[in-house]
Amino acid sequence: MGFIDDAKDAAQATGKKVGEAVDDTKERISDKADEVQADAKVKGAEADTAKAEREAEATRAKNEYKEKLRD
């Protein structure tokens, strides 16, 4: 019976190790997805900032032009 018990213990240990590997892989995938989402938010915010800066510059240029017309 010792051999059967040893095989059973080895199979359980292997199953546990496989389960842990699967959990680790799922966690890594989730972490990577979170990272990609965060990067996308940063790029979106950078794009919004750049657009706001362009709009502000256009407004300044328009106001300067109007001021010159008033002179």
Across 29-52, average pLDDT: 97
Q: Compute the distance between CA of residue 24 and CA of residue 31 in angstroms, rounded to an integer.
A: 10
Q: Which domain holds residue 52?
A: 33-71
Across 27-35, average pLDDT: 97
> Is position 71 within any domain?
yes
Q: What average pLDDT is seen over the chain?
A: 93
pLDDT band for position 60 (50/70/90)? very high
pLDDT at residue 6 above 90?
no
> Is position 37 within any domain?
yes
Residue 71 has a pLDDT of: 79
Residue 1 has a pLDDT of: 59
The total number of structural domains in the chain stands at 1
> Is position 48 within any domain?
yes
> Is position 41 within any domain?
yes
